[in-house]
Structure 1
Amino acid sequence: MVSRTPTKAPAPRPSPAKPSPSPATRRRQTFRAGRRPSATKRRASPLKSLAAAPAAVASSFDRSVRFCRRRLFKLFARLAVIGSPTKRRAAAAGFQRLRSTPTSLPTPSALLSSPRSQRPSRVHPAALPPPTDPSKKTLFLDLDETLIHSQTDPVPARHDFAVRPVICGQAITFYVRKRPGVDAFLRAAADAFEVVVFTAGLEQYASLVLDRLDPAGDLIAHRLYRGACRDGGDGRLVKDLSATGRALGCAIIVDDNPNAYALQPENALPVAPFIDDADDKELQKVIGFLDVAAGFDDTRDAIRHYKDLVKAN
């Protein structure tokens, strides 16, 4: 007979202990679960911190560095200039550094008619050596439109000679016509006066013309060119007789341009400008005046007397 009394369930068997996973197995399980192993905390790099900074902070820092760099560069440049003995002497003498400016080649007509294109940067000394004959008074003569007239192209119908100076690297031909009576005038003037040609023309040009007027070099005692003129500040070139080392009471200037003798008008004998007049008589009048001036101790008194006579006539 079978008994229906439930029998007691057997006790479950203890499951065998699972072995502990190896370190490699634990790492694989961690990666499969989507987790990364914890890393050891490291100190943040300054460069990484700067890169992680906001853009405004980084831009401000960059501007500060460039500003400091410029200030230091200017400071060291000034110290270098001040520390130079040559610069210290130049600064003490009042010299200033000139800025270089690009120069353009002037036209031939501007070389003579416009002093602005070749304006001297400073007043050049025009002191002459002592006269060889102290008994002679000094006669300053202008060149262009007083003794001669010159022009470039086109070639004039009449001219006495041509010169070809090199100005600013360019050879320019000037066709020169002598004023009527200029040769006799220079010989007569050299007998009684110390003749000095004082021109506002460039030396490259004027020296060639004077070589043709006085080939032997025994008529003209001295030559003064544009560099000896004083800059009036408004483009006018003034011939300062007081800077030549000659007493004003013993000096006469013959010029067609009133601006040239603006500093000493009482020493000036004006003449009409010469262009191309074959019947011009101006130099004959000057010779007549020079004969009268020889009887005056002060040339300014002779010029005043002559001007009074001209006004009366």
Structure 2
Amino acid sequence: MAELAAAEVYAPRTIQVWRTLLNWMAFFFQIFAQILRGTPSFTQVLSYVGIRHGSLLDSVPHSPTFKPLSAVELPDFAEEPEEAPPPAAIPVSGGGGREIDDVSPLEKLTVVLDLDETLVCAYETSSLPSMLRSQATEGGLNWFELECISSDKEFEGKPKINYVTVFERPGLKEFLNRLSEFANLVLFTAGLEGYARPLVDRIDVENRFCRRLYRPSTISTEYREHVKDLSSLSKDLCRIVIVDNNPFSFLLQPLNGIPCIPFSAGQSKDEQLLQVILPLLKHLSLQKDVRPVLYERFHMPEWFQKHGIPASGWTNAL
């Protein structure tokens, strides 16, 4: 009887243990599936298990209504020859009066690059699970730890030091090397300088960025704060583009923007920089005016209209 009673107690407990294990296996399978897809929703999975994303540190949170454009993946673009003519052009004014048959040498393309979730992603070291760091390392991601000055103050008035772990987007160094061969690079982030400057020092040891701009260089509009105004870099918008995971960053010049998929530490197989963005930028470097090509690719003015932002400020460029 004692053995029978023990068996009756043991069996339900065994079933409960197996159910618990199956639930955990299903949960981790969902995370693994998100990693394989490399989609931004992995950030939502991280938040579910209590991980605080580091891009919120001294930077600007993105609009919850923002969804990456599916066109950003450009699956067919890498196969296009560099000599291919641009898509059907739309009339663009304000570009210095260039004609289609102008054979004068092209000015070097200027490429403005965002930092957080575009080139890198950063997490507070104290809240970063060792499991995530191990998975990123096994996946081949380069990462480093960093001390940066926070905008907050200690109780004695001294600047607070934050410790963050930074993961580089796959192919970052090669991307910057190859891009600098045919373009002028500008770093433009909405993050504070105390956080962004030491980070950029680590990823840009060769000083490929000719300029670095931080949050004070952004402007506020009636629709969004911390917008990046390209006219502060060049009055001629024919040969300048901005790559950013948040399209609202280039609200003032939507015809010059390239929206990229946000990057997180769970995307060790991400190929955006070398397989998607670099071929597009190489193609744009051969164009007299980048705006007709980018309009045909992304139709950003229409995207902003769908988000309640009128196109009246861009009609002169279309």
TM-score band w.r.t. shorter chain: 0.5 to 0.7
Higher relative contact order (CA 8 A, sep 6+): 2
Q: TM-score, normalised by structure 1?
A: 0.55
Where does the alignment leave 5 or more consecutive residues of structure 2 unmatched? 1-53, 63-104, 134-141, 153-158, 300-318
Match of 1:212 among 192, 195, 202: 202
Q: Label 1:108 to 1:177 Cα distance change in 2 as closer, same or farther (>3 A).
A: closer
Match of 1:137 among 103, 109, 116: 109
Where does the alignment leave 5 or more consecutive residues of structure 1 unmatched? 1-106, 116-132, 309-313
The question of 1:151 aligning with 2:123 is answered yes
Q: Is the 8 A contact 1:108 1:172 kept in 2?
A: no
In the TM superposition, residue 307 of structure 1 has moved relative to its aligned partner by 3.7
Partner of 1:69: none
Which amino acid in 1 is paired with 2:210? A
Partner of 2:283: 292
- CA deviations 1:95-123 (Å, max 9, x no partner) are xxxxxxxxxxxx994522449xxxxxxxx
Which amino acid in 2 is paired with 1:270? P
Partner of 1:178: 168
Partner of 1:111: 58
Larger Cα-atom Rg? 1
In the TM superposition, residue 139 of structure 1 has moved relative to its aligned partner by 0.3
Q: TM-score, normalised by structure 2?
A: 0.54
Which amino acid in 1 is paired with 2:177? R
The question of 1:229 aligning with 2:218 is answered yes
Which amino acid in 2 is paired with 1:244? L
Count of equivalent residues: 184
Partner of 1:274: 263
Secondary structure of the equivalent of 1:111?
Answer: coil
- CA deviations 1:249-276 (Å, max 9, x no partner) are 1110000101101111110011000012
Q: Is the 8 A contact 2:108 2:285 kept in 1?
A: no
The answer to which of 195-204 and 241-250 deviates more is 241-250
Q: Distance in 1 between matches of 2:117 and 2:285?
A: 25
- CA deviations 1:134-166 (Å, max 9, x no partner) are 831210000000000001131243260121112
Q: Distance in 1 between matches of 2:251 and 2:214?
A: 17
Partner of 1:244: 233
Q: Is the 8 A contact 1:136 1:194 kept in 2?
A: yes
State percent identity of aligned pairs: 31
Q: Distance in 2 between matches of 1:164 and 1:138?
A: 30
Secondary structure of the equivalent of 2:209?
Answer: coil
